[in-house]
Amino acid sequence: MTGMRTAIGLMSGTSMDGIDAAVLFSDGRERVGQGPTLAEPYDDEMKALLRTVLGGQGEVATVADILTRAHAKVVNKLLVDSDLTADKIDVIGFHGHTILHQPEVHRTWQIGDGALLAALTGIDVVDDFRTADVAAGGQGAPLAPLYHGALAAALPRPLAVLNIGGVANVTWIGADDLMLAFDTGPGNALINDWVRLCGRGDMDRDGKLAAAGRVDDGALAALLANAYFDLAPPKSLDRDDFTLPTAPAWSVEEGAATLTAFTAQAVAVAGSHLPAAPRQWLVCGGGRHNPALMTALAGVLDAPVAPVETVGWRGDFLEAEAFAYLAVRHLDGLPLSLPGTTGVPRSLPGGRLHRHAGKAPSGQG
């Protein structure tokens, strides 16, 4: 059996909250153990920089360099805080930050310089996790399902793991490790955009605005009429595939309530595409911290809804852990995506390895 490796996973999600870093001990298969973590929020300047390059616009190379250096600082701080040294880490899984995702034209773009990160940390880096999948006809997302499956080995099935970041996605795990995964629709992105547009901060903190508002049923029905919801999975979204309705006559609270209901109802629609009804829904990502959203999900799903902490998982670091896990799998040439998780024609490896100390990067693995 392949031995255990020590990896650091890094995630900068579409909600643009900041960088999550997690140490993972794994063989890239069924054996996983969690190590130290660190979350470093983005300041307003960094958030603004990231917004300037969404869609592939603006000074992408400059922002990618700044982003990479920010990730290196997080890695080095995590090592110091955890009394670890670079030589004890086998690999970093560096997702980068998605600025464009158009799998229908075989295009996805995550900015970040893996070679630079390797040089700044003294640790081998695997990045570019999505390109091979999209080039082969897959959706390139979601990529966390294989890690979800490893964590869920002893849990009752069918099981649904719902990740609510800027975009929301679900991993359905059935008997015999059968998997189906896809983006359900908007997660926090539209809610955050609305609150920001109204000058009330970057998010509906604790769901207080939504809890004080009334859902605009007409607007909700119009949002749910989007053709995306009729598409059979696997399928995936760009952060900006869904946008705010044009000049809605909403109060701040009504808009927050309607968009929160939209995220929840989109998950319910996604449930109709699953091969069998889940026995429970486990929720990770920032959305699980929003009581109004969790209440809305409980109201539209026909099974218990709970944060992943109820089964001992770390909801704030699950995606970072997943990319550590995928980096270990890359080192062993194992698949990162399956037909049921991204729609790729066959189980497919992916990622690109950058050796530290000036060694040349490998090609696609």
Closest C-alpha to 93, from 32, 8, 157? 8
In this chain, the answer to whether the domains covering 5-140+341-354 and 145-311 adopt an identical fold is: yes
At 2 the pLDDT is 61
CA 359 – CA 114 distance, rounded (Å): 12
Task: Kindly list the domain boundaries of the chain, sorted by start residue.
Answer: 5-140+341-354, 145-311
**CATH code linked to domain 145-311:** 3.30.420.40
Burial class (CB in 10 A: 0-12, 13-18, 19+), 230: exposed
pTM above threshold 0.85 = yes
Give every CB contact of residue 343 below 8 A, 6+ residues apart in sequence. 137, 138, 139, 233, 234, 235
Query: What's the CA dihedral at 43, 167, 178, 176 to 10 degrees?
Result: 50
Q: What is the DSSP string of 195-210?
A: HHHTTS-SS-GGGHHH
Query: What's the CA dihedral at 277, 348, 342, 323 to 10 degrees?
Result: 90
Q: Which residues of the chain have pLDDT under 70?
A: 1-2, 247, 358-365
Q: Are strands 18-26 and 32-41 parallel, antiparallel or unpaired?
A: antiparallel
At 244 the pLDDT is 92
CA 134 – CA 9 distance, rounded (Å): 22
CA distances from 51 to 72, 78, 229 (A): 21, 26, 27
| CATH architecture observed for domain 5-140+341-354 | 2-Layer Sandwich (3.30)
At 240 the pLDDT is 87
At 363 the pLDDT is 40
CA distances from 339 to 181, 193, 344, 347 (A): 10, 33, 5, 6
CA 15 – CA 98 distance, rounded (Å): 11
Q: Is 272 helix (H, G, I), strand (E, B) or coil?
A: coil
Q: Angle between the 252-271 and 291-300 helix axes, to the nearest 10 degrees?
A: 40
Q: How many CB atoms lie within 10 A of CB 329?
A: 25
Instruction: List pLDDT tens digits, range 265-321.
Output: 999 999 999 999 999 999 999 999 999 999 999 999 999 999 999 999 999 999 999
CA 114 – CA 121 distance, rounded (Å): 11
Give every CB contact of residue 313 below 8 A, 6+ residues apart in sequence. 151, 282, 284
CA 11 – CA 171 distance, rounded (Å): 18
Closest C-alpha to 155, from 317, 311, 27? 311
